[in-house]
Amino acid sequence: MNKLDILAIGDITTDAFIRIKDARVSCDINNENCQICMKFADKIPYESVDIINAVGNSPNAAVSVTRLGANASLVSNVGDDQNGKECLGVLTENGVSADYVKIHEGKKTNYHYVLWYEAERTILVKHEEFPYALPPKIPEPAWVYLSSLGESALSFHDEIETYLMEHPRVLLAFQPGTFQLKIGKERLAGIYKRTHVFVCNVEEARKILSLPNADIKTLLREMHSVGPTLVAITDGPKGAYASDGTHAWFMPIYPDPAPPLERTGCGDAFASTFVTALQMGKSFEDALMWAPINPMNVVQHVGAQRGLLTKEQLLELLSKAPANYKPSRIY
The Cα 167–Cα 163 span in angstroms is 6
Is the pLDDT at 295 greater than 70? The verdict is yes
Quick one: angle between helices 266-279 and 57-67, nearest 10? 50
pLDDT band at 32 (very low <50, low <70, confident <90, very high): confident
Looking at residue 302, its amino acid is V
Asked whether the beta carbons of 300 and 260 are under 8 A apart, the reply is yes
pLDDT score at 121: 85
Is the pLDDT at 1 greater than 60? The verdict is no
pLDDT tens per residue, range 103-136? 999 999 999 999 989 888 898 988 899 999 999 9
First-last CA distance in the chain: 42
Domains within the chain, CATH numbers bracketed: 6-12+55-109+128-329 (3.40.1190.20)
Is the pLDDT at 145 greater than 70? The verdict is yes
pLDDT tens per residue, range 225-276? 999 999 999 999 999 999 999 999 999 999 999 999 988 999 999 999 999 9
Among residues 71, 60, 76, the alpha carbon closest in space to that of 96 is found at 71
Among residues 256, 259, 265, 257, the alpha carbon closest in space to that of 302 is found at 265
pLDDT score at 75: 98
Is the pLDDT at 68 greater than 60? The verdict is yes
Is the pLDDT at 188 greater than 80? The verdict is yes
